[in-house]
């Protein structure tokens, strides 16, 4: 299944380290970040899971739920959590999906659908494409997906920055420029013509080009 931005995130039922879930029901009215791992006891992913737990209060401020996925059993993943605490001083308290059948990895286009069998006997290298981040909105639509190589740790500060941008631009007719950080000036969408923009932004804007009009962050 070739997933794109604005596609509905496929729903599924799964066992996790926090019990069984139905994905769409679990999201509810929140936002969600689903991030996947090729195998338990892998070094880069250990650092990532600890970092996500450290940043969990920041995600919660934004009404974002975190959920991991690994192609391991619940017991295998649970045994990994103490190692993560040793490595990062953080023990993940968010659910991690046990995708032993690899059905969810295939459903989300992380592994070929023609692949047969279970995760039993497979190595992290066999599953190296299972290194993806999905941001899903309360409408259950995919807002972003990124796939990383095994040797590159993910930047979850960047994921937070993207969430800030997506949440802002879903509520206001603006876009965010390069390297934007929350609170900085934003761009009026080109689809908003000047007559309409005057009503939405009565204090005016700074025109760099006719198609590039900057205004203060409207969420401030």
Known catalytic residue at 139 = yes
3-state secondary structure of 181: coil
Options 45, 72, 99, 164, the catalytic residue: 45
Q: What is the pLDDT of residue 110?
A: 79
Q: What is the pLDDT of residue 130?
A: 60
Q: Are strands 64-70 and 31-37 parallel, antiparallel or unpaired?
A: parallel
Options 99, 139, 195, 217, the catalytic residue: 139
Mind listing the pLDDT tens digit of every residue in the chain (220 residues)? 589 999 999 999 999 999 999 999 999 999 999 998 877 788 899 999 999 999 999 999 999 999 999 888 899 999 999 999 999 999 999 999 999 888 898 899 876 444 444 445 444 444 444 679 999 999 999 999 998 888 899 999 999 999 999 999 999 999 999 999 999 999 999 999 999 999 999 999 999 999 999 999 999 8
Q: What is the pLDDT of residue 131?
A: 79
Nearest to 182 by CA among 166, 197, 170: 166
**Strand locations in the chain (E):** 13-16, 19-22, 31-37, 64-70, 96-98, 132-136, 142-147, 174-175, 186-188, 206-209, 212-215
Q: Which pTM was predicted?
A: 0.90
List 135's β-bridge partners, or say none.
33, 144
Q: What is the pLDDT of residue 112?
A: 41
């Amino acid at each position: 299944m070739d997933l794109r931005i604005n596609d509905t995130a496929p729903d599924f039922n799964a066992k996790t380290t926090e019990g069984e879930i139905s994905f769409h029901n679990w999201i509810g009215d929140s936002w969600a970040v689903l991030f996947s791992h090729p195998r338990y006891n892998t070094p880069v992913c250990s650092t990532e899971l600890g970092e996500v737990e450290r940043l969990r209060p920041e995600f919660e401020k934004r009404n974002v739920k975190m959920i991991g996925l690994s192609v391991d059993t619940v017991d295998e993943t649970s045994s990994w959590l103490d190692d993560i605490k040793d490595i990062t001083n953080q023990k993940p308290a968010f659910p991690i999906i046990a995708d032993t059948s690899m059905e969810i990895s295939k459903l989300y286009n992380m592994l070929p659908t023609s692949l047969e069998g279970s995760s039993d006997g497979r190595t992290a290298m066999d599953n190296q494409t299972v290194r993806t981040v999905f941001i899903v909105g309360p409408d259950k639509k995919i807002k972003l997906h990124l796939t990383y190589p095994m040797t590159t740790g993910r930047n979850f500060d960047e994921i937070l920055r993207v969430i800030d941008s997506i949440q802002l631009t879903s509520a206001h007719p603006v876009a965010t420029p390069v390297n934007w950080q929350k609170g900085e000036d934003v761009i009026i969408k080109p689809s908003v013509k000047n007559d309409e923009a005057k009503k939405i932004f009565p204090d005016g804007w700074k025109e760099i080009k006719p198609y590039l009009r900057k205004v203060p962050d409207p969420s401030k």
